[in-house]
Amino acid sequence: MAMVASPQNHSGFQAGGTRRPELVVALDTPSLAKAEEWVKSLAGLVHWFKVGLELYTAAGPAALQLPPKYGGYVFWDAKLHDIPHTVAEAARQAVRAGVKMLTVHAAGGPAMVAAAVAACREEAAVQGRTPPLVVAVTVLTSLSTETLVQLGLGADPARIGAMWALLAVDAGADGVVAAVPDVAKIRAQVGRRALIVTPGIRPAGGPGTGAATDGPDDQVRVATPAAARAAGSDFVVVGRPITRAKDPVQAALSILTELGEPG
């Protein structure tokens, strides 16, 4: 079983270390029953499960109760992005729901990030819980350089990612979500003050190795699990390569193998 740092204690997470990154499985499905099947079969191997927009929109807060039912931790990828007050109140609800990690968009600005962090701390104190890790999404891994240029953000996603990451971390975020190719630049900016969560992971193996998808799907800036670790990721988020595999348990095992020894 993979060793897991306790989310009860933030200092248990050592950002930018040489440890094997935590594997987070993205429960991307509209079906609560399907998500439960995945959590049930993977809970012995994987401790973190991500509830994203699809499942949450379909199943509501019940989705957040699934991982804890099987001893897992819930990462609510809510990608909150609104005025600070609205984001803070949503973050408060996340604490009440027992969420251990929550995403907000760094693009919402430092005041919004700070409001989310403050609300999490305040509500956690009321509930007698440890506040969830608030993680800021920088540049979506699905955005190509061309799209970034179209959006007026320039042609250097790593530079934007590093800039937004620093703003979010200075505003109190515990970590950031970023594409693997951007990790080095972000780490240089934030040092070990922040956890780095990387989606866009595709196993090195092709068909028959547990890799469900032969290509990157809609992800543009992808990396292998080993490359994510070498870059210094603290958490890797994997969806389709596990959930669309014929055998999700085997696929998760093979990704854990690719991630290497716990270290």
Question: For residue 180, what is the DSSP state?
Answer: G
**Which among 79, 100, 185, 246 is annotated as catalytic?**
79
Q: How far apart are the C-alpha atoms of 147 and 145, rounded to whole Å? A: 5
239 binds ligand C5P (CB under 6 A): yes
Within 8 A by CB and 6+ apart from 34, the residues are: none
219 binds ligand C5P (CB under 6 A): yes
Q: Is 201 exposed, middle or buried (0-12, 13-18, 19+ CB in 10 A)?
A: buried
Binding mask 102-141 for ligand C5P (x = CB under 6 A): -----------------------------------x--xx
Q: Is 79 a catalytic residue?
A: yes
At its nearest, how many Å lie between ligand C5P and the CB of residue 191?
Answer: 21
CA distances from 80 to 39, 137, 195, 228 (A): 24, 9, 18, 25
Nearer to ligand C5P, 81 or 96 (CB): 81
At its nearest, how many Å lie between ligand C5P and the CB of residue 12?
Answer: 23
* Closest C-alpha among 251, 182, 250, 253 to residue 220: 182
28 binds ligand C5P (CB under 6 A): yes
- Residue in the structure block whose two tokens are 């969420």: 99
Q: Of the candidates 240, 245, 255, 259, which one interacts with ligand C5P according to CB under 6 A?
A: 240
Strands 133-137 and 175-177: parallel
Q: Where on the chain is the footprint of ligand C5P (CB under 6 A)?
A: 26, 28, 52, 77, 137, 140-141, 177, 199-200, 217, 219, 237-241
Q: Which residues are catalytic?
A: 79
